[in-house]
Structure 1
């Protein structure tokens, strides 16, 4: 079944999400970097089982210099020795927010030790944004393309 072409049906609404991505990217580049951003987008997309976003963000992560091994190991990041403390904290936050789990004071303190307040706000908004995109894409199911490099 062909679903609604959300991009062309409501371009004004979708443009707000695209503009948000542009602003998030600027803030991310100035704070914690594109690699963490792409890891978070991939992890949220794994949790949300969003094939379209997994395809898109795997390609984007590779373009930003991410390694194939780190992308492959992402679903088991807790056990893989490939991620630093800051990445691990970002991935843990991503999982908690994506799965609607509470953020206790101890975990917030851990995050605050690794990210300054503006970066923590940026990270939280970035996680919210990818979850929003995942839900839109899961609703309207655009064509997924997995192309080999």
Structure 2
């Protein structure tokens, strides 16, 4: 997403999977809204929860893990405690060793995102830190989120 006009084109229907994340009192900053640093945490939480629930991410013992190598976020409207964030995720690029997720953060029942962005995982061998092919079971889980 590159402009506010793009935001108007995005709705909840454009995302393949959602995770509801309640905001916390401590998420609000001095300006009375959720501080920007928390938005990246919502991205990470939504994607990794999906991978864990799909049975393709073992955060403690998995031999292959995804490292975030790129991230970006645009902010369109404030979120504040006690809102619930509905993090929508989709995959827009699925390569041999990397995947690009796009995440829309929807405030409560809003149909357009309060924020939207992306991040890229490169899959690596946990022991060596070297890039590896995305495992077949992980690829199958990611394909369920793929949009044209």
TM-score between both structures, scaled by the size of structure 2? 0.28
Q: Which has the higher helix share?
A: 1
Q: Which has the higher strand share?
A: 2
TM-score between both structures, scaled by the size of structure 1? 0.28
